[in-house]
A = this chain, B = another copy of it.
Amino acid sequence: MNLPGGEELLELIRLRQSDRNYPDRAVEKEKLERILEAGRLSPSACNAQPWRFIVVDKRELLERLSEAASGKIPGMNAFASKAPVQIVVVRERANLLSKIGSTIKDKDYSLIDIGIAAANMCLQAEAEKLGSCMLGWFDEKAVKKILNIPASKRVELIITIGYPADPKREKKRKPAGDVISYNSY
């Protein structure tokens, strides 16, 4: 297998964008499974893997989730209902070692871990020529009810997945000089 080199991977990272428009086209099972595998294999603090991925692909549930993703603001995240797949990312309890570390250092490692897994899944979607979008704004209580998620859990992200309908946009990012420095802040 020809592993991606530095330039190839960086180009993939450049191409990944938040896609908010999807044609009516199903996502192949093997592609979806590789996306989930990319999440499952992600690193995490103390290897706690504090996540659970709920794949939603039933039309009725997708509609109800999209309604919840509007977070009671009409039109907000309305595009989500067009996605043939949504991955709901639930934060699970970290293991004891990670929890102790989080407490001592006053730093929630498990939220960082959620970000790592989400990044890997979205990049994997891009490699599969699929579009994706991470949603952090939604009615969490409603999402829990729709998917039978215990009230004690936190739902951190909904990732929409589907073939992208929009062209690639140029990225808007802070210039390197604003976010990178050497040997001092």
Contact = CB atoms under 8 A, between A and B. Distances in A.
B112 A6 contact: no
Nearest to A4: B4
A40 B173 contact: yes
Contacts of A116: 115-116, 118-119
A118 B141 CA distance: 29
Copies of this chain, count? 2
Contacts of A6: 31, 34, 124, 127-128
Interface residues of A, number: 86
A4 B13 contact: no
A111 to B, nearest CB: 4
Contact of A38 (B13, B149, B181): B13
Interface string A97-126: 000010001011101111111111011100
Contact of A147 (B7, B13, B49, B184): B184
